[in-house]
Amino acid sequence: MIGAGRTKQYANVLDKPLSKGRQEVSLSAFSFLFSEIVQYNQTQVDNIAELERRLEDAGYAVGARVLELLCHREKGNRRETRLLGILSFVHSTVWKVLFGKVADSLEKGTEHEDEYMISENELLVNRFISVPKDMGAFNCGAFVAGIVKGVLDGAGFPAVVTAHFVPMEQQQRPRTTILIKFAEEVLRREAKLG
Amino acid sequence: MAAAINCLFIINKSGGLIFYKDCGSAGRMDTNDSLRLASLWHSMHAISQQLSPVNGCSGIQLLQADTFDLHCFQSLTGTKFFVVSEPGAQHMEPLLKVIYELYTDYVLKNPFYEMEMPIRCELFDINLSQAIQRDRVALLGR
């Protein structure tokens, strides 16, 4: 058929569907923006715990929105209701959309039943960041921890989420572990669901 | 086997030394000497721009002496990178560009770095050592 395969012509520009556009942003642009976020927050606080909390808050807002968006876009408006479901949603779907890859690992804590860990050898936000020695164990991954907390809270799995550096034997650089500690009610509900 | 480059300096736009690294086995320099050399180079570079017979000269890029070569690269913001190498060492410009790239990545994108201040970034050190090591390996291959 003549003209088959040609894109449909729209008389009115407003009838045209929105293009999906590029799904990626420049890593440099993001890194500079993130660097400024950290620098700005640093001027607003007088201790490191406070800085960590502010970064987490910034991430929380991202997480809440990402959950909404991805449930709609990827899961046909269905929300995960089970613990492992939501964890793998964070580990794969959320990570892929935000960082372009699945997280390096998702493990269950060995000491506590309510702890789960998502680990990343080279967390995207930490790619260019060297934390000075005098800041101790501070990790800018607090922002990502905030995102995870935002997603989990929004989905009805309240948890305390923190980011830590974990030294690795074979590597020069420590990796970042996002530690998720679920609230008691979540585990009780999960047990009831069987 | 001596390395192609002996040392690397980075000086900020007002001539202060913000980074210094010794790579070769040739005599080490103490902190005062390196600071002095950095500001000396900064002034010489500025004077050369004024004295140059060429219009729009950006300053000395290469200084050749009997015992060493000095290659300099100035970024758009006035930060200068220079390496002291063996006489006649090749491919120093690309190396300086690589070092500049590492600087923009691991120093400028680091929220804990204060502009124009001495560079103390772990990731920059690690990646710089790797780049110099790579350059050394490439040199052996040439």
- Cα angle value B65/B94/A29 (rounded, 5°): 135
C-alpha count within 13 angstroms, C-beta hemisphere, residue A134: 3
Return the residue matching tokens 């909404």: A68
- Indicate if the pLDDT at residue A2 is higher than 70: no
Q: Which of A4-13, B49-58, B72-81 has the highest mean pLDDT?
A: B72-81
Confidence bin at B81 (pLDDT 50/70/90): very high
- The class (CATH top level) of A27-193 is alpha beta
| DSSP E strand stretches across A40-184 | 105-108, 115-120, 159-166, 175-182
Instruction: Locate the chain B residue with the closest alpha carbon to A127.
Output: B106
Residue A124's SS3 state is: helix
pLDDT tens digits, B53-76 = 888 888 899 999 998 899 999 999
N-term to C-term CA, chain A: 57
CB contact under 8 A, A130 and B124: yes
A40, A123, A128, A131: which to substitute to probe chain B, counting the most B Cβ within 10 Å? A128
Report pLDDT for A26.
Answer: 92
Phi/psi region, residue B69 (left: phi>0; alpha: psi -120 to 50; beta: rest), is: beta
Report pLDDT for A88.
Answer: 93
Closest Cα to residue A166, out of A134, A115, A122? A122
Comparing CB atoms, the residue among B111, B123, B124 nearest residue A38 is B111
pLDDT tens digits, A153-164 = 999 999 999 999
More confident residue, A122 or B139: A122
Taking the C-alpha atoms of residue A192 and residue A81, their distance in angstroms, rounded to an integer, is 13
- Indicate if the pLDDT at residue A177 is higher than 70: yes
Nearest chain A Cα distance for residue B104, angstroms = 10
- Indicate if the pLDDT at residue A22 is higher than 90: no
φ/ψ of residue B109, rounded to 5: -90, 5
DSSP state of A54: H
Confidence bin at B107 (pLDDT 50/70/90): very high
Instruction: Locate the chain A residue with the closest alpha carbon to B110.
Output: A129
CB contact under 8 A, A128 and B122: no
Report pLDDT for B28.
Answer: 74
CB contact under 8 A, B111 and A135: no
Residue B38 has which token pair? 């950095």
Return the residue matching tokens 């000086």: B11
CB atoms within 10 A of CB B109: 21
Comparing CB atoms, the residue among B106, B109, B120 nearest residue A132 is B120
Report pLDDT for A3.
Answer: 44
pLDDT tens digits, A36-59 = 999 999 999 999 999 999 999 999
CB contact under 8 A, A128 and B106: yes
Query: Average of pLDDT values for B105-109?
Result: 95
- Which residues 82-111 on chain B approach chain A with CB closer than 8 angstroms? 105-106, 108-111
Instruction: Locate the chain B residue with the closest alpha carbon to A41.
Output: B111
Report pLDDT for B110.
Answer: 95
The ipTM (two decimal places) reads 0.85
Residue B110: what residue type? Answer: N
Q: Is B66 on the interface with A (CB under 8 A)?
A: no
> How is B14-83 classified by DSSP, letter by letter?
TS-EEEEEE-SSS----HHHHHHHHHHHHHHHHHHHHH-SSTT-----EEE-SS-EEEEEE-TTS-EEEE
B105, B110, B126: which to substitute to probe chain A, counting the most A Cβ within 10 Å? B110
- Indicate if the pLDDT at residue A5 is higher than 60: no
Nearest chain A Cα distance for residue B121, angstroms = 5
CB atoms within 10 A of CB B7: 20
Residue A118 has which token pair? 């998502």
Report pLDDT for B75.
Answer: 93
Cβ(A110)–Cβ(B103) below 8 Å: no
pLDDT tens digits, A99-114 = 989 999 999 988 888 9
B19, B107, B109, B129: which to substitute to probe chain A, counting the most A Cβ within 10 Å? B109
Taking the C-alpha atoms of residue A99 and residue A67, their distance in angstroms, rounded to an integer, is 15
Residue B11 has which token pair? 């000086």
pLDDT tens digits, A113-150 = 899 999 999 999 999 999 998 888 899 999 999 999 99
Percent pLDDT > 70 in chain B is 94
Residues 6+ apart with CB under 8 A from B98: B131, B135
Query: Average of pLDDT values for A58-71?
Result: 93
- Cα angle value B31/B67/B28 (rounded, 5°): 25
Domains and CATH numbers, chain B: 5-141 (3.30.450.70)
- Indicate if the pLDDT at residue B96 is higher than 70: yes
Set of chain A residues whose Cβ sits within 8 Å of the Cβ of B110: 35, 128-130
Query: Average of pLDDT values for A80-103?
Result: 92
Taking the C-alpha atoms of residue A7 and residue A9, their distance in angstroms, rounded to an integer, is 6
Report pLDDT for A7.
Answer: 60
